[in-house]
Amino acid sequence: MAKKTVVLLIIIISVIIGALPFSAQAATSGSPYAVRVEFRDGQRTLTVGGQRKTWLDGVLPQDGYVPLRSYCDHTGKQVGWNSQQPNIARVTVNDQEFSYVIGQALAYNESGRRITLERSTLTVNGRTMVWYKDLELLGDTLVYNSSTGHCRGSILFYPPAMEEEEPAEPTQPPTQPPSTTDPSRPSYPYYPYYPYTPPYVPPLDYSGLNIVWAQINALNEADWTSESWALFRVAITNAAAMAEDTQTRINAKTRALENALGILTPQQPSGIAVDKSGLDAVLDQIAALAEANYTPPSWSAFMSAKIIADAMAEDTQNQVTAKVIAYNQALTLLVAKQPETIVIDKSGLTAVLDQIAALVETNYTASSWSAFMSAKTAADAMAENTQSAVTAKVIAYNQAIRLLIAVQPPVAGLDLSGLNAALTYVQTLDENDWTSASWATLQDLVAQIQDLLDNDGFTHQSE
């Protein structure tokens, strides 16, 4: 029995001694291990390296957002807030600090480089919540299934180091999984260790910006026109307000200052007159243009080019020449409208002219033919270049035709003695004995009767 006890003690001591080297190394180094993490929206527990843990403070993941403090505490990361900047959550990973800006999709690394996140960092029930994808900033890789609320992935777990020893430098990954017989070390599934190397961030280059500022500081206001200098001052004031915390913003600020320099126009040397006669001539030509004479697309293109030319300076002879060229180029864009082809229907006019051509003068009374010819002459002079003009001309010809009175055939045995006696009686009347209106009516009737008597269709009988 004693022999068996001795053998058992030897085995136990061997196991403990075999476990000591690894246990000491793991406890004192604090080196991160790649482990699996898994959790679901709304569930109080998560699994880190095979160990079930509980979210702190009762704040649970929801809709892909993860409580930052609980997540960092369970994965060995350090998180903190500054009372002076309550909207900044700072996480320290592998001696590097990352700052999440609460309420924005924005973070910064410890060198101040701006990092755009996929979604804004939120505050829920007083706790900071980070979108799962934005945890990649800390070196973790998570995959979220929105339909099931299931989130899983691989993270770098940072176990706490023992207080009595300094952390050791990272070593080569162990070739065997850590011993699970050491009660001081949690039992995690074995994953090979890969040292975390932060990405290289190049320093910001201000050289181009400094060169432009040096050029601006060397300028003399008296060398430039007052108008261009005023515009230049506005432009550099706006450019000076631009941020320069990233290389992209530095480059944008440099370009804005360079554009401001391009606004400046040199003063014209005294004693040299600028000839603007050509400019005045082309402006007069433009002022005489009528939009209705050109196609809409070409007029629009012309106006766009003219606006650009209008903004060009004209302080020097070269500038005036360039402006004239710009106006002339704008004029070349114009396309004149083609006159519309209008088909005029003259069939009615042709028909009435054929009808007039068939008329025979002897078939009508002399007075009516004379009246017809006068009306026809007036109609002949009317225009016929539009449809309405043709219609008016046809109406005029038809009115002339209606003036004709046909010669009546002879009527044998017609007794006109009474009518002649009446006409003779009328001639004895004194106009002063009658009203002017009744006398005019009588004279008109006598004229009509006389016209009938003059018609060769009547056979006159002697009294």
Tokens representing residue 306 in the block: 């003219």
Residue range 223-250: average pLDDT? 91
Tens digits of per-residue pLDDT, 364-391? 999 999 999 999 999 999 998 889 999 9
DSSP letter string over 287-349? HT--GGGB-HHHHHHHHHHHHHHHTS--SSHHHHHHHHHHHHHHHTT--BPPPP------HHH
Least confident of 19-28, 259-268, 282-291, 452-461: 19-28
Phi and psi at 114, nearest 5°, equal -75, 135
Nearest-10 crossing angle of helices 247-261, 207-217: 30
Tens digits of per-residue pLDDT, 50-77? 888 888 767 888 888 999 888 888 887 8
Report percent pLDDT > 90 for the chain: 28
Q: What CA–CA distance (Å, rounded) separates 213 from 128?
A: 42
Higher pLDDT, 240 or 4: 240
Higher pLDDT, 23 or 326: 326
Q: What CA–CA distance (Å, rounded) separates 74 from 56?
A: 9
Q: What letter would DSSP give residue 44? A: S
Residues 78 and 92: beta-carbon distance below 8 Å:
yes
Residue 97, SS3? strand
Using pLDDT thresholds of 50, 70 and 90, give the confidence band for residue 334: very high
Please determine, for residue 360, whether its predicted confidence score (pLDDT) is greater than 70: yes
Residues 145 and 137: beta-carbon distance below 8 Å:
no
Q: What CA–CA distance (Å, rounded) separates 297 from 432?
A: 78
Please determine, for residue 439, whether its predicted confidence score (pLDDT) is greater than 70: yes
Phi and psi at 51, nearest 5°, equal -100, 135
Confidence at residue 171, expressed as pLDDT on a 0 to 100 scale:
47
Please determine, for residue 18, whether its predicted confidence score (pLDDT) is greater than 50: no
Tens digits of per-residue pLDDT, 283-320? 999 999 999 999 999 999 999 999 999 988 887 888 88
Residue range 84-93: average pLDDT? 82
Q: What CA–CA distance (Å, rounded) separates 19 from 179?
A: 6
Least confident of 140-144, 226-230, 411-415, 420-424: 411-415
Q: What CA–CA distance (Å, rounded) separates 123 from 306?
A: 55
Model-level pTM?
0.32
Confidence at residue 170, expressed as pLDDT on a 0 to 100 scale:
47
Please give the mean pLDDT across all residues of the chain: 80
Least confident of 226-240, 296-310, 424-438: 424-438
Residues 228 and 265: beta-carbon distance below 8 Å:
yes
Please determine, for residue 27, whether its predicted confidence score (pLDDT) is greater than 90: no
Letter for the amino acid at 297?
A: P
Tokens representing residue 69 in the block: 């403090």
Which of 256, 48, 6 is CA-nearest to residue 151? 48
Least confident of 76-80, 148-152, 169-173, 281-285: 169-173
Residue range 442-453: average pLDDT? 79
Tokens representing residue 149 in the block: 């609320």
CA-to-CA dists, residue 98 to 68, 101, 132, 243, 300, angstroms:
12, 10, 15, 21, 54
Residues 56 and 66: beta-carbon distance below 8 Å:
no
Letter for the amino acid at 373?
A: M
